[in-house]
Chains A and B, each alone.
Chain A
């Protein structure tokens, strides 16, 4: 399960760098692509704006198949206040930009499963794949626009795969 989550995150991160290399975040003194996994960072008082935050709330396992299929629900949360140079009046445009980026990041809808416990990451036998995203409604809190997109990520448990 962890390999699938890691592979999904790294695939999206790699694709984001290609799609919009300007979207970055300064986190723990390092400039990184603007996407992070919430459970792998320190707690946030408020989620950072203009980056994609992955959260993993749901899990289901189908065991009747020759290889158990794991379905993990991923929430991609993102928000923006627009830019200072436009006084935040471009926040709608900024959110649309992120909608487009996320849509592009998710395509193609699969990536090879890698084991990131190993260094360098070791290729596994199967692919991780996911469904089309379901975009939630925009929520506005003062000048912050936010959206949550839900993606179900599927993978097959491989023999000897820990976690």
Chain B
């Protein structure tokens, strides 16, 4: 019985994407260590990575350019230099969620606050119902509220949890910076409008320990309550706009798993939206004259550089390969 084999090129069927928030204020991306984390279950990535689900049409395009340094007569190439460093990534999301919509748009992505009675109409959602204070003891999946406040919510609603806007400028939003405020605004709900910290309410308790149990963990984890003043507000959906000056930025990880268990990772510490919001579609049953089409969010991104602390080189992407067990390398 042989103890090793000559492995052919990996055979993969699909690509999975993962997201992690970049600390925009500090300019700090999330780094993925394939040696330490590479064996993770694709359904439960290591924190703080969040699954974006399977994606399709994954393409990478390196835009880096090299130039020859010539010498002599006739000129010959003495050496090469790297003139520019650039890379782009494109793919289609197979689901519409807060996260995938936000990443697939080129600008701020906002939550449509559940409107207050008599609120004036607005293209990106008018004045919302009053936000409720999250009490101490909150976790990523349970928000303790005063009983009367809890009664204002219903199971199945989507809610956003974030702080009041109090005139701050710069990046706002927890845990992802959802917008950059250049000059102070007056909307107390602005941070909750742009926040990524959303989840669906699974159940509401108005007696005993009153509060909201969430169907999914909040992306921002357990809200820090008393000191930060986290509040919860119901939302109806999401809206984004063509225009604006803000670019979403995130740390990205793409995984291809081969048929023999080998894995290829593409890690982009910093990706920024390249284009505007766009959709593609594919027919559910192309061969039989189907009229049903799935609408897919198109994502296009430019990779921004980080400085690798190993040797000080500036890079935009890491490609890693973890060979299959017993495969000769």
Contact = CB atoms under 8 A, between A and B. Distances in A.
Nearest to B292: A131
A154 B94 contact: no
Contacts of A131: 284-285, 288, 290-292
B290 A65 contact: no
A65 B285 contact: no
Contacts of A65: 53-54, 94-95
Interface string B278-290: 0000001100111
B95 A64 contact: no
A66 B288 contact: no
Interface in B182-204: none
A129 B285 CA distance: 13
User: Which of A131, A152, A154 is packed against the most chain B CB atoms within 10 Å?
Assistant: A131
A131 to B, nearest CB: 5
Contacts of A134: 288-289
Interface residues of A, number: 11
Contacts of B288: 131, 134, 150, 152
Contacts of B290: 131, 152
B284 A64 contact: no
B14 interface: yes
User: Which of A64, A132, A152 is packed against the most chain B CB atoms within 10 Å?
Assistant: A64
Contacts of A152: 284-285, 288, 290
Chain A interface secondary structure, helix, strand, loop or mixed? strand
Interface string A43-75: 000000000000000000000111000010000
Nearest to A125: B156
Interface in B274-310: 284-285, 288-292
Nearest to A66: B95
A129 B94 CA distance: 18
B56 interface: yes
Nearest to A69: B284
Interface string A136-159: 000000000000001010100000
A134 B291 CA distance: 11
Contact of A66 (B94, B289, B291, B292): B94
12 contacts: A64-B54, A66-B94, A71-B284, A131-B285, A131-B288, A131-B291, A134-B288, A134-B289, A150-B288, A152-B285, A154-B284, A154-B292
User: 10 closest A-B pairs (Cβ-Cβ)?
Assistant: A64-B54, A66-B95, A131-B292, A131-B290, A66-B53, A132-B291, A64-B14, A65-B94, A152-B285, A131-B291
Given A66-B53, A132-B291, 16 more contacts: A64-B54, A64-B56, A64-B94, A65-B53, A65-B94, A65-B95, A66-B94, A71-B284, A71-B285, A131-B284, A131-B285, A131-B290, A134-B288, A150-B288, A152-B288, A152-B290
